[in-house]
Amino acid sequence: MVVRMWHGRVPTAKAASYREFLNARAVPDYRAAPGNISVHILERPDGPITHFLTMTFWESLTAIRGFAGDDVEIAKYYPEDRDFLLEFEPNVVHYEVVGQS
C-alpha cells in the first residue's frame, strides 16, 4: 500500500468553503479511481492561513498512475483550486505503508 500526500494553503477566511469543495469534488474523484483504498483530509488553522493535507491510500503506484498520470510526483489540481489556494505546490510525496493496525 502507498500513501500519496499533498499539502495546500488557503486563507483562513476561505477554509470552510475549501473544505466543502474538497469533500464534494475531490474526495469522490479519488474514491472513484480504481485502486484507491481511502481518502483522509487534514486541516490545521494557523492564523490567517489554513493548511490542508490530503492523504490518499492506494493499492500500488500503478493505481496512482491511473489517477495522476505517468509522473506520479506531479500534483493534480482542479480548476476550482485557483479560487482558494495561495500557491500551487508542484509535487506530492509518496510513502510505502509498512505498518498498520
Determine the Cα–Cα distance for residues 62 and 80; give it in Å rounded to an integer: 27
pLDDT beyond 90 at 6: yes
Q: Is the pLDDT of residue 100 over 90?
A: no
Read off the pTM.
Answer: 0.93
Confidence of residue 101 (pLDDT cuts 50, 70, 90): confident
Q: Is domain 2-96 in CATH 3.40.50.2300, yes or no?
A: no
Any idea where the domains of the chain sit in the sequence? Answer: 2-96
What does the pLDDT look like over 19-76, one tens digit per residue?
A: 999 999 999 999 999 999 999 999 999 999 999 999 999 999 999 999 999 999 999 9
DSSP 74: B
CA 43 vs CA 15, 19, 51, 70: distances in Å: 9, 8, 6, 28
